[in-house]
Amino acid sequence: MKTVCHSQLTFESLFSKEVVADFAGGRITSDAGGLLLRELDQRYRVTEKVAGCLQDPRESFKVKHDLLTLVRQRLFAIAQGYEDNNDAATLARDPVFKIMAGRTPETSEDLASQPTLSRFENRVTSKDLRRLSDWLLKLYLKTHPGPRKVIVLDMDATDDPTHGQQQLSFFHGYYEEHMYHPLLVFDGESGFPLAAVLRPGNTHASHRALAVLKRLIKKLKKAYPGALILFRADAGFAVPALYRYLERQEIRYVIGFITNNRVLAQAEPLLKKAQAAYQATGEKQRLFTSFSYQAESWTRPRRIIAKVEYTRLGANQRFVVTNLVRTPQFIYDDLYVLRGDVENRIKELKLDLKADRLSCHRFLANQFRLLLHTAAYVLFWLLRRHLQGTELATAQVNTLRLKLLKIGARIRETSRRIWVHLASGYPYRDLLAGVL
């Protein structure tokens, strides 16, 4: 770079031609693809429904930014990769973000500031949050029309590290950090998030799991009469109260099981068989069995599936508890193992959408943030559904954002139109048009 001034940058020449940059390009954005999310939002009324769940205690004549505008500003920013309210100052004048929020790029006032958004998040009440949770389930029912034969529910917990004075942030011995402990439920086939519940950091994985499950199953049974419901979870949810409830409701389940000496003794013959076969062949052995087992805290025996592997590294044993009657290998390989995909969905929610950025002091505000990030995930879920049959049908959020949303454009507002001038050589123009 040769020279730098306030209005112009001059770079090294190319083939005897000066390379000059200026700041006279007009209203330019790097997020023009966000209009795609706006279009989906218009069809499914995501932000409208979210805003409708919230009460606004402000005096109407003092309101500069209504609830719908604030919801859109915050939710679309999360979706575009701006997870912090501190980004508000940068985005307040961005022409595409103004359009997404329902304002014209040039003639409307700027979007809300960071303090306004912070007050918005901290006004939320427990009733607001209940309505938001109900809306998430209603949208699931709307986007998954019946009749349905099988519904798979995947439940899991994750850690959200905290780094300040957040309410109900506690040290968790297993994760060895101060944290929150969110509980998440996804549809195991479609990947839609049915529930996102924030919990104190020192809670057990199964804390509130039964309450969440009761609420979901009641609604699902009413919406899909006769459907078989399968519940999957890891060993953190292996608690008798869950078993009893699922059995009373005739829900099928396959849940990881924490081993003990009695269970290991039951699987010992299979382990010896696998070891002998490995020593004889030198090849990896993978065997399955099932047996009846009753813990002291159980009122009845239940079926345990055992998977035993033996390799050059030694033995590897895994156990699940189930009320299914299929073969042990089918239950483990074709049902339980697929539960692991929920961890990929949680990773996507945390890494790509920064759902672990729960930095408000107030616990309810952080629960609200978790639901906003979940709603942003829903927008991407809807986008993937409209991309079925394309190369991006199963793409992760980060890939979708990079290829379809992070598009440079010049915005021009006239008396009759708002023009969004995209690059002539944009490589995914057909995919973009296909969604619309």
Q: What is the 3-state secondary structure (H, E, C) of 376-409?
A: HHHHHHHHHHHCCCCCCCCCCHHHHHHHHHCCCE
Task: For the beta carbon of residue 292, count every other beta carbon within 10 angstroms.
Answer: 10
| Weakest mean pLDDT among 13-27, 52-66, 251-265 | 13-27
pLDDT at 330 over 70: yes
Provide the number of structural domains found in the chain: 1
The token duo for 374 is 């979940």
Q: Is residue 95 part of a domain?
A: yes
Q: What is the C-alpha to C-alpha distance for residues 146 and 213, in angstroms, rounded to an integer?
A: 20
> What is the predicted pLDDT for the residue at 6?
60
Q: What are phi and psi of 435, to 5 degrees?
A: -65, -40
pLDDT computed for residue 121 by the predictor: 96
Regarding predicted confidence, which is higher, 61 or 407? 407
4 pLDDT higher than 60: no
Cβ within 8 Å of residue 244, ≥6 positions away: 299
**Residue for token pair 């997020």:** 31
**What is the structure's pLDDT at 7?**
78
Q: What is the mean pLDDT of residues 294-318?
A: 94
Checking if the pLDDT of 164 tops 90, the result is no
Does residue 146 lie in a domain region?
no
- The pLDDT of residue 25 is 82
pLDDT band at 24 (very low <50, low <70, confident <90, very high): confident
User: In the prediction, which pLDDT does 76 show?
Assistant: 97
114 occurs within a structural domain? yes
> pLDDT at residue 5 above 80?
no
The pLDDT tens digits for 333-352 are: 999 999 999 999 999 999 99
Section 9-17 average pLDDT: 90
Domain assignment present for residue 211? The answer is no
Percent of the chain beyond pLDDT 70? 99
Task: Using the predicted structure, report yes or no on whether residue 195 has a pLDDT greater than 80.
Answer: yes
Write the pLDDT tens digit of every residue in 36-82.
Answer: 999 999 999 999 999 999 999 998 888 999 999 999 999 999 999 99
Instruction: Dig out the tokens for 100 from the structure.
Output: 């997404």
Q: Which residues pair with 237 in a beta bridge?
A: none
Query: Rounded CA gap, 195 and 215, in Å?
Result: 10
Helix ranges (DSSP H) in 33-183: 34-44, 46-52, 67-80, 88-91, 95-100, 114-122, 126-143
Task: Check whether 219 has a pLDDT greater than 80.
Answer: yes
8 A C-beta contact, residue 374 and residue 349? yes
Q: Is residue 98 part of a domain?
A: yes
Residue 96's closest CA among 81, 69, 76? 76
- Examine residue 147 and say whether the peptide bond preceding it is cis (omega within 30 degrees of 0): yes
Residue 369, pLDDT > 80, answer yes
The pTM (predicted TM-score) of the whole model is: 0.93
pLDDT tens, residue by residue, 142-163? 999 999 999 999 999 999 999 8
- Percent of the chain scoring above 90 in pLDDT: 88
- Our measurement of the distance from residue 415's CA atom to the centroid of its chain's CA atoms, rounded to an integer in Å, reads 40
Average per-residue pLDDT in the chain? 94
- Does residue 44 form part of some domain? yes
Does residue 79 belong to any structural domain of this protein?
yes
Name the strand (E) or helix (H) holding 329.
helix 328-329
CA gap 289, 332 in Å, rounded = 10
- The pLDDT assigned to 10 comes to 87
52: tokens are 């409708």
The whole-number pLDDT of residue 2 equals 53
**Per-residue confidence (pLDDT) for residue 152, from 0 to 100:** 98
For residue 431, name the pLDDT band (cuts at 50, 70, 90).
Answer: confident
Instruction: Note down the domain range covering 39.
Output: 27-123+406-435
Torsion angle defined by CA atoms of residues 70, 73, 76 and 77, in that order, rounded to the nearest 10 degrees: -120
Buried/exposed 372-399: b ≥16 CB within 10 Å, e otherwise? bbbbbbbbbbbbbebbeeeebeebbbee
Residue 331 lies in a domain: no
